[in-house]
Amino acid sequence: MSSHALTVLSAIIGWAYFVCWSLSFYPQVILNYKRKSVIGLSFDYLLFNITGYICYSIYNCVVYWSPVVRAEYLHKFGPPIPVQPNDIAFSLHALLLTIITIGQCLIYERRDQKNSIYSILIGIGIWISIIIVLGIGGGGVVNWLWVVTYLSYVKLFITFIKYVPQAFMNYKKKSTDGWSIGNVLLDFSGGILSLLQMLLDAVNADNWKVFIGDPVKFGLSIFSIAFDIVFMIQHYCLYKDAHGDEDGYRQIQTPPQQDEISRPLTEDVDVDEADEIGG
């Protein structure tokens, strides 16, 4: 690394993106808790998310801690190692919060929401491919860098497709209720900062291979930013008049009792009740 100042600045930006991306999970969890409902939250999004963060966590931990994989990476791409401590912290934290959100789906009101057959089939296909790749890696057919790089591409693919079900659900409802805009804004900020950190690392090492050496971090930022822009357009432009409707939320509340108010005046009442009404 050619500049200590850029190294320090990269670390600061890295932890800043960690904070933004990590905090982005909490608005949705809090919204679900306040509403006691997950209506409006796509279950397909969560299915893809849990698979993606499992792969991303394994990739980050192995590339950062495995001497074998680190040596293979440096031989192929040169320094720097693209995985920083903040990357590991983010992926493990994201995995935990995704598990918590899935747990909320099991205990809160969800109506007839469920995973689509398409997401289930895609998920099964992804896990079968992962098992096969782990098998050929264990058999020595490919090196472990190739194996964990494959996991990073799985995460990249999932990042590309996971937002589609939520965006489509918002489009069908013509509303973003049930999907936290706070999540979107923090996710967008984290994506910008993540790209900035990679740019600083590339400039500092004079090695632009960092972008292809860690495709998942680069792609995660690009795809997140793109879909966050879509969600912001939906929330602030297309469906802004639907805010506060809490689709599927008010309907699950206990309706007010109107029996006394709507009772016909001609209905028989006793003398005491009539005195109370008159006096």
The pLDDT assigned to 214 comes to 64
Mean of pLDDT over the chain = 81
Give the pLDDT confidence of 49-92 residue by residue, as tens digits.
999 999 999 999 999 999 999 999 888 887 778 788 888 988 99
Over the chain, what HEC string results? CCCHHHHHHHHHHHHHHHHHHHHCCHHHHHHHHHHCECCCCCHHHHHHHHHHHHHHHHHHHHHHHCHHHHHHHHHHHCCCCCCCHHHHHHHHHHHHHHHHHHHHHHHCECCCCCCCHHHHHHHHHHHHHHHHHHHHHHCCCCCHHHHHHHHHHHHHHHHHHHHHHHHHHHHHHCCCCCCCHHHHHHHHHHHHHHHHHHHHHHHHHCCCCHHHHCHHHHHHHHHHHHHHHHHHHHHHHHCHHHCCCCCCCHHHCCCCCCHHHHCCCCCCCCHHHHHHHHC
Give the mean model confidence (pLDDT) for residues 32-54.
Answer: 91
Q: Which of 191, 223, 209 is nearest to 82 (CA)?
A: 209
The percent of residues above 70 in pLDDT, for the chain, comes to 82
Q: Which two tokens stand for residue 126?
A: 């992804």
pLDDT confidence band for 270 (50 / 70 / 90): low
Per-residue confidence at 160, pLDDT binned at 50, 70, 90? Answer: confident
Higher pLDDT, 219 or 25: 25
Confidence band for 265, pLDDT divided at 50, 70 and 90: very low
The percentage of residues in the chain with a pLDDT greater than 90, rounded to a whole number, is: 34
User: Considering its fold, how many domains does the chain have in total?
Assistant: 1
Is 209 in contact with 77 (CB distance < 8 Å)?
yes
Q: Is the pLDDT of residue 252 over 70?
A: no
| 191: containing domain | 4-278
Residue 21 predicted with pLDDT over 90: no
